[in-house]
Amino acid sequence: MERTEIRVGTRGSTLARTQTGWVVDQFRARGHEVSVELVSTRGDVVTDVPIAGIRGGDGVFVRELERALLDGRIDAAVHSFKDLPTAVTPGLELACVPLRASPFDAFVGRSAPTIDQLPPGAVVGTSSVRRVMQLKALRPDLLVRSVRGNVDTRLRQLDDGVCDGLILAAAGLGRLGLESRITEVLRPDAFWPAVAQGALVVQIRSGDPRMAAVVGAIDDPASHAAVRAERACLAALAGGCLAPVGAWARFEESFLHLGACVLGPDGEGVATILSRAVGALAETPEDLGTRVAADLCRQGAEGLLALGRVAEARRREA
């Protein structure tokens, strides 16, 4: 008898299970039988160093799930899209992007409600290179502390006084019902989100028409096009999901708009290169992303990323 149950894989964190639960509910509402398989990833196990410091840091939250897909242990994997490297794993397909939540970062303040209002020397918790660089550009007088773990763990550290504020993804807080903890939403041009932030993606095996039909039913074409443009920009810059690149694509009056920035060290400060473009009628999201990346490169983005890699290597050796 042909197996009809769909096995969906996810990481075990509360946020990952909540996100996957929403996807599973969509499948069940369409009459599918679904079971959930928890898969532990290297990024979940190694929590005592920043993500960029983990060997093979690009993709540390997805590789084990991808292996489970390739091995046939699961039929689909649900990821936070921003965790996926830009290179698609052979044999797998990024088949579905449901409606995107907020793409922006959020500040959760303890001693002040906004970053501007923090006193000099205040400590802000984050382990993201992109967030650290933008924070330094806004407030070079603040201190940064690496804070990892799930959302609840990081909020607990904030409440215990480990830091004066946290920078987290607004979407994650929203999905966990913790919107009330947000004291400031961080938006471009002052603060650019990670590529594909706020978006989920359902990954399946290539050449699986049954699963392609199942997941395609919950795809949101506008969200999918936006993250395709952002990821194409990142890929053209030869950056992985940990590169200090920010991007935000969205539709306005039926046209896809993409803005992106590259961050890098500039002496004691932070240098930022910014580009924006509007998609042409015959242009694909990938074309738009590549065009914005080319403009960033003309402005010196490749050199900036190279400087950033050198600075990060020195930080790891220190």
Catalytic residues: 83
Cα 222 from chain centroid? 18
Which residues neighbour 75 within 8 Å (Cβ) at sequence distance 6 or greater?
6, 7, 8, 69, 204, 205, 208, 211
Which residues neighbour 19 within 8 Å (Cβ) at sequence distance 6 or greater?
10, 78, 80, 175, 200
Sign of dihedral through CA atoms 227, 40, 107, 163?
negative
DSSP 3-state of 100: coil
DSSP 3-state of 141: coil
Q: Is 72 left (phi over 0), alpha (psi -120 to 50) or beta?
A: left
Q: Which residues pair with 94 in a beta bridge?
A: 203
DSSP 3-state of 142: coil
Structure tokens at 73: 């242990």
Determine if the peptide bond prior to 25 is cis (ω within 30°): no
Contact 43, 66 (CB under 8 A): no
Contact 46, 115 (CB under 8 A): no
- For residue 279, report the phi and psi dihedrals to the nearest 5 degrees: -65, 140
- Euclidean distance between CA atoms 215 and 27, whole angstroms: 8
- For residue 290, report the phi and psi dihedrals to the nearest 5 degrees: -65, -40
**Sheet-wide strand order for 76-80:** 34-38, 6-10, 76-80, 200-205, 92-96
Structure tokens at 83: 């965790």
